[in-house]
A and B are shown apart, each in its own frame.
Chain A
Amino acid sequence: MTATDDPTVIPAGQSPAAALLDVRDLRVEFSTSAGPVTAVDGASFEVRPGETVALLGESGSGKSVTAQAILGIVPKPAGRVTGGSIEYAGRDLLAPGTAGSLRGREIAMVFQDPLSSLNPVFRVGAQIGEMFRKHRGASRKQARAEALDLMRRVGIPAAEKRLDDYPHQFSGGMRQRVMIAMALALSPKLLIADEPTTALDVTVQAQIMQLLARLQAEEGMSLVLITHDLGVVADVADRVVMMYAGRVVETGPIREVYDHSAHPYTAGLMGSVPVIDGPRQRLTPIQGSPPDLLHLPSGCSFRPRCQYAGTICAEQEPPLLPAPGRMPGHQSACHHADQVLSQGAPHV
């Protein structure tokens, strides 16, 4: 990965290697009745202009909390960012007020469940139009026209009639289109989609992914796709950031990571995906259960579930390092990355 740590403003159209979003050593803690929980524990990754990055991980891996931290909407007072930095186009998103001033305008977000994420008591046209009224001072009429335009762009049929409908009158897929329309209202440079298809029917999932990919290409914006579904992002993402127990365990170009996993967790996930056109074989699930964030093991968090685990894994937390002998930009946080690479998917 090329060094792009220059924290200056990046004007549009500059070298695509310069990061639009740069997350460094991010730590987010939540206070719970059982004690403090570190939901994000030193995560680092970057997103370049126009790029699609998949943030992968199981529930509790810290991917949604990372998104909340980027937008500055970590639920208070339970959660707070305790360390690291987030820079957006050279601006410190953790500085007071910065995230708030960019939210909705430059950085937008689409949530998992469009039914609970849309306000049930307001018409969708008004909810989309609110972006123009609040941020651009548009009149009711202008906002309505803009909302109509957006609803057409995201492929809502009979948009003219549906402007005055309420969220519950829409199907799941249409609701998510409304959410996307709302997020795109002010042409943000970065769109974060948190499990945008998880709550939808399988047939609708592909449509929404296609819509996101199309809009991303049209707008030239960066897209962070948060998901636990390896398949959903395979076709649309450029790079993948794999999270486990609040840490980034592997990152790199998506095909590279999928085909040459350099971390046992990623390799394990690949091994548990059925291959339709390949030879019939038993699926190999990852052993053990997801980590308990309250009682993480010493050293590497994945250690208890890992077949490669040795004494060093209990003693030292593995740093994120270039995967040995692989493409530049492919990094893995595993003491035994070379072993994992040489064996391919693990067989139990």
Chain B
Amino acid sequence: MGAYVVRRLFFSVFVLWGAVTIIFVVLRLVPGDPAYIMLGPDADQAQVDALRAQLGLDHSLAQQYVTYLTNVVHLDFGQSFRLSTDSMTLVMQRVPATIQLASTALLLSLLIGLPLGVIAALKANTWLDRTISVFSLLGQSTPSFWLGIVMILVFARNLQVLPSSGSGSWAHLVLPTVTLALPFLAILVRLTRSGLLEVVHEGYVQTARAKGLAEGGVILVHALRNALIPIVTVVGLQFGALLGGTVIVETVFAWPGVGRLLIDSISRRDYGVVQAAILLVATIFVLINLLVDLLYGFLDPRVRLAGDR
């Protein structure tokens, strides 16, 4: 197990290097010179050149890349072009808000998605199952930005029961959480339903019934535990989509998290902040996937033992 984790961490370094490199290239392919954007349309060439030199943009791309990689290794993304603060510090300040949003959304999805999926599977092909399935399909297909705006219109503008944007109280958390959670929740319902339907005909479920266990125990202990194995994998992968979703949701609801900082920084060509934020999100994603793989071994003893050999 230990060797496996070390090996996985080693490969993770390459994944992160890839992410860091791609963002370096993409940022420089995007039209628009940061110096021009920062100084505005009235700046003369001398001012622009001076700023470019200050930012290191007058070097060749290869030189910039080497400098950039060296700095990344030291977790030094330089000053934010705009705010004259250390980029990484700026990103880290925004992390708690995003984690709060993502974790409440995850929790909400699990608390509602799993039971709904179980109900749909147990009542397979009844009106209840069909209703749940239709709504989960709708939930999965609704774009977050649209849902967010509609919810603001309904709950904030018309009903005036919840704040439309910003942060600070639990009430502020409701709309962004629901918006972020919905697609994830919908996928979870569908996965749980199909996963459970796949295992209810397995021999060990029949055995559990033959043992005289209550139907609830048969389903929630013997069947669900096996159905969860593939679900955990997909949930882990989908968590990446959830992090991506925070970018949209934070922007719509003016939630002060990493996602919104990222959008602001991209539009201002604030390279340092963008790079720091991307590296952070990529790291979280890689770690979550590692965690999922380890959890997989915990859920499925057959995998665990194969890994030990």
Contacts and interface: CB of A to CB of B under 8 A. Distances in A.
Contacts of A168: 301-302, 305
Interface in B196-254: 201-204, 206-214, 217, 222, 225-226, 229
A113 B207 CA distance: 11
Interface residues of A, number: 30
A71 B210 contact: yes
The interface residues of chain B, by DSSP majority, are classed as helix
Nearest to B300: A121
A121 B226 contact: yes
A108 B207 CA distance: 10
A118 B225 contact: no
Contacts of B210: 71, 73, 103-104, 108-109, 111, 183
Contact of A104 (B206, B213, B229): B213
Interface residues of B, number: 23
Contact of B209 (A101, A103, A130): A103
A116 B208 CA distance: 12
B200 to A, nearest CB: 9
A131 B211 contact: yes
A117 B211 contact: no
Nearest to A104: B212
Nearest to B298: A121
Contact of A103 (B211, B222, B229, B299): B211
A71 B209 CA distance: 9
Interface string A98-138: 00111111001101010011111110000000110011000
A190 interface: no
A165 to B, nearest CB: 9
A166 interface: yes
Interface-centre pick from B202, B212, B213 (highest chain A CB count, 10 A): B212
B69 to A, nearest CB: 44
A75 interface: yes
Given A73-B210, A117-B207, 19 more contacts: A71-B210, A73-B209, A75-B201, A111-B203, A111-B210, A116-B202, A116-B203, A117-B206, A119-B222, A119-B225, A119-B226, A121-B226, A121-B299, A121-B300, A134-B217, A135-B212, A166-B301, A179-B207, A182-B207
Interface of B: 201-204, 206-214, 217, 222, 225-226, 229, 299-302, 305
Interface of A: 71, 73, 75, 100-105, 108-109, 111, 113, 116-122, 130-131, 134-135, 166, 168-169, 179, 182-183
